[in-house]
Every structure is written in structure tokens, then in C-alpha cells.
Structure 1
């Protein structure tokens, strides 16, 4: 049996997952909704055979699984409506922007007892699998800490400009959208983190999101996670996460590529697929299938996503 799946939010992330749902044997997209007519038209072009329904409520009613790719603030109401109707819920990250609201969401999802997970896309990636094997098998040696570097010439990036909310401080910014992925990665491999200090910078317009952020986080035994984020200048996008270890270091680039080094030049840690994003999303859907069936899976739990949100919001608020 396939899982009848609805999508609320048909921006770039919603359409990317829609493309992958169409070719995954465990899922059948049955309903799509977005308040933007333009986004609905783009989704129709991707999947002309999938109905675009008249409301979020109609999308929820049509499906067994709900994927929420809408902005953070409305996500809670849709998630609780779906969970209350016994539907599985797959939420985009960040979990939210208001910590008490997100804590309430996590508690109520748990009480509902329906499957729920959050889409940190690296969770089921080949890179995570290879790094876990290297750590558990001793190839890496002692893991000493993690460095996160994210720099962009502009935010939002060119392919994100339709999602105008991403440029505003209220719900957007690259710290929530990108660095959250890498803090999830850090906690998966190092354990719980505590924010020690953070210094964000903002433009003169108080409505706009951060331009720079520096932060230090630590594990319970003092291993550091260092974060540098910056926007501006003529440069290519840079997204690097370096896992420092005593024998073999590892570096993620562009989310899906994992490299390794014993002190010399970086070399590929595995054979990269032709389309790494598609490979990662198909693997993510495979884990979502397990989640919906009540089987063990590697997706981020709502509890993990809440931990990341607390760290992210602390960074954006600034902490000395």
C-alpha cells in the first residue's frame, strides 16, 4: 500500500519533495494547497495529475500523510489539525520561531500518538551513514569538535526569492534555514549542545534578517562547535561543516558531499551520486515510509528539532 500524501506549501521545497514523491513507490501525492495562485500553477506544471484543492482543510482530509512546507508560523495549526485527525505529519524546519509555541506543539504531537518527523534532509543521507560508520568503527578517532561556515553573496539566494518571507527577521534568515541543519548534524554526532555566546548583526531596517552571526556552542564535556555566518560581497555560496577528529577529519560541502582527510588534501569519502539532492530526498522518503509505518527510522524527531530551535533562537537573540 502507498501512503496518500498531501502537501501544504508549494514553494521550492514543496515542489522538490513533490517531484520525489511522484517517483517513490511508497507514496502517492493526492492533494496540494498553497494560498499563492502562482505557486499552485508551478506545482501543476510539476504534477499535472495531482489535484490542487481549495483549502488546507481539504488537503488534510484527502491524505494519510501531510507534508508541511509552508512558513513556520502557520505550521503548528496545520500539524495539530492533521495529528488530531490521525494523520502522519512531516514538517519542514525550522520547527517554529516561538519556543513556547513549539514546545506546546511537540507535547501535543506526542500526546496525539501519530507519526511525526522534521525534514532535516541530511538525516538519512549517505554522508551521515559514512560518517557514523567512520566514528563507530574507529577510522575517525576521537571527535574533537565541529566548525560551521556559511557565507552567501546575498540572502535569500537567487532560487529562493519567490519565498519573500525568508528575508525578514520574523520568520526567515539563513541561521534558521541553513545553520539549523548543521546544528542538527552536530547534535547527532556530538550529543546535546549548550550555547555559550553568540553575536548576530542586523541591517538598519529592523524588519530584515541577520547579515552576520558568530557563535560558540559546547558539548557537556567541552568540545566546541564554532559557527561563522555572513552575507555580502562577490563570492560563491559556501556551506561547509568540518568534523574535526584525531585520526581522520571529515567535511560536508553543499549539504550532500562528504570529504575526508588524514592531514593532506580532502578526498571524496564515497562515490557521489549523479544527482545528490535527488538521492538524499529519495532516502529521506524511505525513512519517512518507516516512520509512518511505526518502524525505527533516522529522521529528525520533533524533540530534536525543538532542541535545535532553542539554540538557533538563542543565537539570533545574541548571548554573551
Structure 2
């Protein structure tokens, strides 16, 4: 193994460009070096490369893969492109770090998982909340029984507008995007991490037009344990963004959102919970995995399992659908 891991980035939108700052903060070039970036917009690729002193930039990811010696590639393009790019990256024997959701469909996600397993490369999804103290504290409190026996779970997703101001682009506002895909996938993965597999879904999703992302959802998801999760989401609401996952139990309540955790015993008011220290961030774990050292990786199998829930949820068939046929992998 080379002393420095060489990384390429494909897609320089909201996530691909933003990851460069923490990379330079957490990792000296002797450990991890971004040696190439790629974006279909030539000016964006050239500007980002210059700003972060990346030696090579490309418009074509295929040219990048043919030209540059890489150990790992971060795929930060829209989900519809993930399967083909992953296939091309894996064929070069390069490890894959991919944005969530894993793919554009269940079948594509399954293909990607099988490809990665056959090639024996490291494969990881960017489920970054797993390395932050909020979700870890939520998980720990549930596991240690703070809320007692859990009897119901609520996932609330309310947005004044969609997309949010920091993520204005065409695909995220289209039927290929939406809040269930972009942010709901984080909570789907978190639910299955903390509470186990989701086995059944009944959902009703409203799309304002054939080409637009959803503006409302009401759904029921059932865990293998029999616990019910109620999902309620809407856009264009007349109050601040309110996105949270709340578990109600016999002894109390625990709520997780992207800001932190609140909790209360039965009959008490929810209060902020003091959070612990964050885990090493995701690329530290990927580096460790590439080096053959212990690492906490949320891989394509986790991504596939989340994709199954996401796709059935978004279909909005308004009937109870079993996920069992998708679990035999």
C-alpha cells in the first residue's frame, strides 16, 4: 500500500465540492491526497481544482479513470448516474465512496452491491450522521432503555420550501429528487440501524405534477419487531423547517434531529441532551479500511436495504407492501 492514498472526486455540486475543506483539515497529504476532480461543467472543475490545489481536473470521469492512478473515488453525482459510474470505477479495481442514496432503483442498488462484493473493493455510503454525536447519543439512549419499551415512532419532515436555499438545483426539485430521497434516506438508515429492519410499508405520496418532487407524504412503516413508524412530511408549510425522528416508550421519549437530541421521562418536558464527542469522520474509517485496519463502514448492503425502503415509500401505492422479497440478498 502506498504511503499516501490517492483520491478522485466525481461531481462538484453541493457535496462534492464541500468535502474538500474537511479533507484538507483532517488529513495531511501524506495520508490522503485529492489528486483529481471531475465535473461536467468545465469551469467548475477548473475553478475547484485551482482553489484547492488539486493537480488534475476533468470534464469526463472516464478520462480521469484512464489517466490518473487512484485508490478511492468519491461519487457525488445524482443517484441516476451512480450505477454506471460505480461499475466503471470498480472495473479499475478502485475503492468506492458513494453519495446516498445508493442508486436510482432497487435493481440498480442490488447490482452495485453485487459488483462491489465480487470485486472485493471497499464500498461505503456517505451516511455521515453515523459519525456525529447526535445519532450516536440517540442510539445509545434507546439501547440503554431510557424510554423503556418503545411502542411507536414518528418521523416528521416539514419544509417551508423545497429545495432548501443551500441546495438549489434542477434534479433535487424534480421527480428524481425530493425530500424523501435527499433527507429521508438518512432517517431510513438511522431507523434500521437503531431499531432493526423495516418489513412492511403503506404510503400515500402527493406529487404536484409528473415532473416535480413530492410535496406531501403520509405513511406507515412496520418494523420486524412489530413497532409502527408513522411518517408525515410536507413542503411549503408556514413555519420553520421541522425534521425529526421521535421514539415514544413506556418510560419516556427520545427525539433526534440534525441539531442534536432531546429527551424526557413520562410527564416531563423535552430537554436538550448533552452530546458526547464525535467519532472519527467517515474518510478516516475509509482510510483505515483500505489499509486493512478496523473501521466503521456503512457499506452498499446498508445502502441497498435503505434503498428498498425508500423506493417502496416513494411509490405511494396506498396499500401494505411487504419488503420480504427484497431481503434475500
Q: TM-score, normalised by structure 2?
A: 0.87
Pick closer, same or farther for the CA change 1:271–1:105 going to 2, 3 Å. Answer: closer
- Deviation, 1:67, is 0.5
**Alpha-carbon contact 1:22-1:29 (below 8 Å) kept:** no
Q: What residue number does 2:261 align with?
A: 258
Q: What residue number does 1:10 align with?
A: 12
Mapping for residues 122-141 of structure 1, pairs under 5 Å: 122-141=129-148
Q: Gaps spanning 5+ residues in structure 2: where?
A: 320-329
- Deviation, 1:34, is 0.6
1:35 is paired with a residue of what secondary structure? coil
Q: What residue number does 1:110 align with?
A: 117
- Deviation, 1:222, is 1.1
Q: Gaps spanning 5+ residues in structure 1: where?
A: 274-278
- Establish whether residue 98 from structure 1 lines up as the match of residue 105 from structure 2: yes
1:206-265, Cα deviation, whole Å (9 max, x unpaired): 111111011111112210111111011332222111122333422122x24122222323
Q: Compare CA radii of gyration and give the structure with the larger one.
A: 2
CA distance in 1, matches of 2:220, 2:294: 32
- Deviation, 1:46, is 4.6
- Deviation, 1:172, is 0.9
1:22 is paired with a residue of what secondary structure? helix
1:62 is paired with a residue of what secondary structure? coil
Q: What residue number does 2:151 align with?
A: 144
- Deviation, 1:45, is 6.3
How many residues were matched structurally? 310
**Alpha-carbon contact 2:219-2:230 (below 8 Å) kept:** yes
Q: What residue number does 1:247 align with?
A: 251
1:13 is paired with a residue of what secondary structure? coil
RMSD between aligned alpha carbons?
A: 2.2
CA distance in 1, matches of 2:244, 2:47: 31
CA distance in 1, matches of 2:76, 2:43: 16
1:122-158, Cα deviation, whole Å (9 max, x unpaired): 1222123223332333434323332111111221111
- Establish whether residue 153 from structure 1 lines up as the match of residue 160 from structure 2: yes
Q: What residue number does 2:61 align with?
A: 56
1:27-82, Cα deviation, whole Å (9 max, x unpaired): 22111001023532562465144532342124333321110000112111221222
CA distance in 2, matches of 1:183, 1:137: 21
Q: What residue number does 1:233 align with?
A: 237
Q: What residue number does 1:190 align with?
A: 195
Pick closer, same or farther for the CA change 1:271–1:124 going to 2, 3 Å. Answer: closer
Farther off after superposition, 185-194 or 42-51:
42-51
Mapping for residues 172-191 of structure 1, pairs under 5 Å: 172-191=177-196
CA distance in 2, matches of 1:303, 1:160: 27
